[in-house]
Structure 1
């Protein structure tokens, strides 16, 4: 003899009739019941238990997504109350008497709400301390730096090239026997090396995106590079104003060491930028 089902009937029941009781069982267990539990609880076969379990799992997944969306909207201040999209309580028994209708709320004079007020009301509902959204600050433009750098580039370039000429730098043929007509003035290595390294080290120092060791090295080497550049300009103009055609030996020694020093500091900074503290 067939065992009675959840409502006392001995006839198979459709999934829609079993679903409210299955929701109630899942709520009591605080988890999805197993297929065997559904079969024992509702006296149903394995196919119907699998389908019922699949319905419960789909509802649980949709409720989890709805809860995640609700939490995101609450954090943004869009809504204040949780919306239950998928009920977990069993359906109301048709035999229960209907509930008494709630009394109508007292009439209130309508107040016109502008679209701006409505947006503010939604955003701050339940969150009176929520700060109002502000537009992101605009980033500072950089084109004035290019305008400022042009005259400085002309002065620094001419000063270093002139000092290089006074300290023995001049036209060389870097490819003898290969390209004899190719020549280059080695004095351009001074402004390119010293000033370019100073600008790069300054960028690494102020970027704040490198390890502390690299940042400290970039800071002091950038300051040193800028000081050496300033001293080079001062030395050239003093020598030029005095009519000197050949720089003293100590100035020549210091200027001759600059390319090597720049190469070493540049390689060291490149290694430090790629390391981790």
Structure 2
């Protein structure tokens, strides 16, 4: 028998109903948010619903952190950091946000310190709390040094070794796939009969273009981290599968060539003949998944 959920019913509950209960979960010291596995275990829900609840909790936590950072910056700017305005717990919610103030015409004297009078009015500080990947960055002040952006030369320094590595791999992979295509029935075809009878193309080039291009595309989607979870999972396994198929194709060609075989066995021919269709299906599916939400 299925155990009842938080409101006593056995039926699945919506994210809006489960969200207050997720906020009330007891967390270990130092942990800000519950894990997805705990949400799935506590409320007996699937991974998609747990991801949705966790995303909302992260958004709420980021909003509270951003508001607290802005409040502290305003307090520092207005010289209001006193025992009456500061709280012992930085995570406690604050409702008494200070109003914008101008320069104090008659500041209270501090024992042991001489008052400093600035004849020029202070320029307003630019408070720009930025959020990047769910983390609130530090508030910038006029006298705070900023980290320079990475130069364009860094990107080029990272890219040129990849190009250098790709050149010999391209030659080896292209020749291997074209050679295997010749052993499995791929060859010269006339794609435009009656229109351009003299135009011909070697259909074996469809193998390196299709398989290796899809492998590189799926690898990029998987490692980019900017796509929905289902698309990233599909890209991961299809990229690994495409690279594995590419490696097996190269091994098969070199073994057949070394053995002096001029015609591949029927099972290799069958597998190679299905590759263009499989690549087309996986490419269309991945292009669709990267444009949808979880």
User: Among residues 63, 84, 104, which one is paired with 2:102 in the alignment?
Assistant: 84
1:270 to partner: Cα distance: 1.1
Write 1 or 2 for the structure with the bigger share of helix: 1
Change in Cα spacing, 1:106 to 1:200, as seen in structure 2 (3 Å) is closer
> Residues 33-73 of structure 1: CA distance to partner in whole angstroms, max 9, x if unpaired?
xxxxxxxxxxxxxxxxxxxxxxxxxxxxxxxxxxxxxx989
Q: Is the 8 A contact 1:163 1:236 kept in 2?
A: yes
- State the partner residue of 1:228: 245
- State the partner residue of 2:172: 155
CA distance in 1, matches of 2:163, 2:271: 30
Which residues of 2 match residues 99-178 of structure 1 at below 5 A?
A: 133=145, 135-136=147-148, 138=150, 140=155, 141-178=158-195
Change in Cα spacing, 1:78 to 1:180, as seen in structure 2 (3 Å) is farther
RMSD of aligned Cα (Å): 3.6
Residue 75, structure 1, aligned to residue 73, structure 2 = yes
Change in Cα spacing, 1:137 to 1:238, as seen in structure 2 (3 Å) is farther
Q: Secondary structure at the match of 1:84?
A: coil
TM-score (norm 1): 0.55
Contiguous gaps of at least 5 residues in structure 2: 1-68, 80-99, 115-124, 126-137
Which residues of 2 match residues 1-277 of structure 1 at below 5 A?
A: 75=73, 79-81=77-79, 83-84=101-102, 133=145, 135-136=147-148, 138=150, 140=155, 141-277=158-294
CA distance in 2, matches of 1:76, 1:259: 61
Task: State the 4+ residue runs in structure 1 displaced beyond 6 angstroms.
Answer: 71-74, 129-132
1:275 to partner: Cα distance: 1.1
> Residues 149-184 of structure 1: CA distance to partner in whole angstroms, max 9, x if unpaired?
010001000000000000000010000000001000
Q: Is the 8 A contact 1:73 1:79 kept in 2?
A: no
Change in Cα spacing, 1:135 to 1:246, as seen in structure 2 (3 Å) is same
Change in Cα spacing, 1:78 to 1:147, as seen in structure 2 (3 Å) is farther
Q: Is the 8 A contact 2:230 2:289 kept in 1?
A: yes
Q: Is the 8 A contact 1:77 1:130 kept in 2?
A: no
CA distance in 1, matches of 2:185, 2:104: 86
Aligned residues: 174
TM-score (norm 2): 0.52
CA distance in 2, matches of 1:143, 1:170: 34
1:130 to partner: Cα distance: 8.6
Q: Is the 8 A contact 2:228 2:293 kept in 1?
A: yes
Q: Is the 8 A contact 2:177 2:253 kept in 1?
A: yes
Contiguous gaps of at least 5 residues in structure 1: 1-70, 88-98, 108-121, 123-128
Change in Cα spacing, 1:156 to 1:106, as seen in structure 2 (3 Å) is closer
Larger Rg: 1
Q: Is the 8 A contact 1:74 1:80 kept in 2?
A: no
